[in-house]
Amino acid sequence: MKICRFKRVSSKLNILLINPQSPSFVKYQDKSIPIGLLYLASTLKKHGFGVKFIDVNNDVALGSDLPNLDKDEDFKQFFIGKYKSEIDEFKPDLIGVGCLFSGRFVKAAIISSALKQLYPNAPIVLGGIHPTIFPGEILRDFPCVDYIILGEGERSFLELVSAHFDNLESLKNIDGLAYRADGQIFINQKTKFIEELDDLPSPAFDMIDLKKYYFDTSKWYNPKKLPINIPLPILSSRSCPNQCNFCSMYLIHGKKFRQRSADNVVDEIEYLYNKYNHRYFSFMDDNLTFSKERIIKICEEIIRRRLNIQFDTPNGVSIKNFDKELLDLLVQAGLIRMCIAPESGSEYIRNQVIRKGLSEEKIYSFIDLVKDYPNLFVKAFFVIGFPEETLATLEDTYQMIKKIMPPLKQIAIFNAVPFPGTRLFNYSKDNNLLLVPTDNLHKSSYFSIYDQSDNVFIKPHDLEISEIVKFHQRVDDYIDSLKTNS
């Protein structure tokens, strides 16, 4: 089914989309553009709806003289005071609130509550990974929320608008929708995902003032000396078929890898290149290089069109199918920063526990390969603290880090996060290994602070928490020694 076949509501409706503020522990200097909401905005505009987009997160990041907004009531009053007049003028018929990750849910709930009081006749719809994980609990405890979209939203949101205003009985037929009816909560599980990604309109960058997202990138790695300003996000595919035990993204994008064509992707880059004179892009794919043939075509098309750009891959790429031909093309097309995810130096943790399906031999062959690309900045992600972690498996990770630093430029070590809906969460809960209360997880942001060594969420079977914290320090000391000796 293609997007263009969906039923259009008979009269034009105004739909307000809001991107909430991140919590204060998230640093704002690296501001981000909410590509998911911009995809939704462009889809709604394509179908004739009036759309207004408010990015609270970016507005707060811009404000140097704002009060402390950590207190709920202070944030509520700030939100109403800043946005009420322009929302009044827009007269929304329906309101969509995004919740990209769990840390934003508290602010998303405050916004939803405030808007429900101000505009009681406008249904409020939540979307994003957090509402997708906890649809029933949120509808139960937050009466201000009327609907929750599960997973990718372009198709379901359109069907929801049509159903709400034209035929409420058809709500039961919408894939990936949670709602209330007759005092009960109904959850239609997400089973269908958009196959024809080329049919989706490009994100609605025209709805934002791009310059308001700029921040100081003067210290960023920039071998071509091109302007960066803000990395423009490009989502060229959806999903990753690897299904690592700690990853919950399959709830949003499904388990099947779906991709845009090379021409479609590069058309979008070229449009942004010409319209905004933009030269830096970030591929936000879960697995950009899953299809070697497609990424080669994307690179060849960038080169053929002589687009003088730089780009990075912040979410990591699969290195299983990497070879010199592919890396040559990526670098020639503009790749300057990439992230890889060995996850663990332990073959047992990496492949039997995480189920990464990545051999140690392939990791080291890739490391040998990148030695020939001195202008390529490569960062590696590691995850520690799984239930099966031991001192021996941590030592395997430490030894791998020593072997890859250098030529790799940077590493990041995260503590394993047992997101609900993952195999890791189920195992940890069943074995009483969780170090956070499982009641009311939908109201909390426990799992949002995962990049600090003392924030440990799981007690491994045969490892003390203090040993995980010590391992972080050990790696930090090693990295510091490399800097001292360089």
pLDDT for res 71: 85
Structural tokens at position 386: 């799984």
- pTM exceeds 0.85 for this model: yes
For the chain, the three-class secondary structure string (H helix, E strand, C coil) is CCHHHCCCCCCCCEEEEEECCCCCCCCCCCCCCCHHHHHHHHHHHHCCCEEEEEEHHHHHHHCCCCCCCCCHHHHHHHHHHHHHHHHHHHCCCEEEEECCCHHHHHHHHHHHHHHHHHCCCCCEEEECHHHHHCHHHHHHHCCCCCEEECCCCHHHHHHHHHHHHHCHHHHHHCCCEEEEECCEEEEECCCCCCCCHHHCCCCCHHHCCHHHHCCCCCCCCCCCCCCCCCCEEECCEECCCCCCCCCCCHHHHCCCCEECCHHHHHHHHHHHHHHCCCCEEEECCCCCCCCHHHHHHHHHHHHHCCCCCEEEEEEEECCCCCCHHHHHHHHHHCEEEEEEEEECCCHHHHHHHCCCCCCHHHHHHHHHHHCCCCCCEEEEEEEECCCCCCHHHHHHHHHHHHHHCCCCCEEEEEECCCCCCCHHHHHHHHCCCECCCCCCHHHCCHHHCCCCCCCCCECCCCCCHHHHHHHHHHHHHHHHHHHHHC
Average pLDDT over residues 311-340: 92
Average pLDDT over residues 87-116: 94
pLDDT for res 27: 55
Asked whether the predicted pLDDT for residue 106 surpasses 50, the reply is: yes
pLDDT tens per residue across span 207-253: 999 999 998 899 999 999 999 999 999 999 999 888 889 888 888 88
Average pLDDT over residues 89-116: 94
For the chain, the average pLDDT equals: 91
Average pLDDT over residues 246-272: 92
> What domains can be seen in the chain, in order of their start residue?
3-188 (3.40.50.2300), 232-485 (3.80.30.20)
Asked whether the predicted pLDDT for residue 268 surpasses 70, the reply is: yes
In this prediction, what percent of the chain has a pLDDT beyond 70?
92
pLDDT for res 30: 53
pLDDT tens per residue across span 133-177: 999 999 999 999 999 999 999 999 999 999 999 999 999 999 999
pLDDT for res 114: 96
Name the band, by pLDDT with cuts 50, 70 and 90, for residue 270: very high
Which of 7-21, 71-85, 196-210 has the least mean pLDDT?
7-21
Average pLDDT over residues 399-424: 92
Going from the C-alpha of 320 to that of each of 70, 219, 323, the distances in angstroms are 43, 32, 9
Name the band, by pLDDT with cuts 50, 70 and 90, for residue 447: low
Average pLDDT over residues 444-465: 80
Which of 24-28, 118-122, 338-342, 466-470 has the least mean pLDDT?
24-28
Name the band, by pLDDT with cuts 50, 70 and 90, for residue 332: very high
pLDDT tens per residue across span 296-311: 999 999 999 999 999 9
Average pLDDT over residues 100-104: 84
pLDDT for res 11: 55
Asked whether the predicted pLDDT for residue 205 surpasses 60, the reply is: yes
Distance CA 398, CA 389 (A): 13
Phi-psi region of 91 (alpha: psi -120 to 50; beta: other; left: phi over 0): left
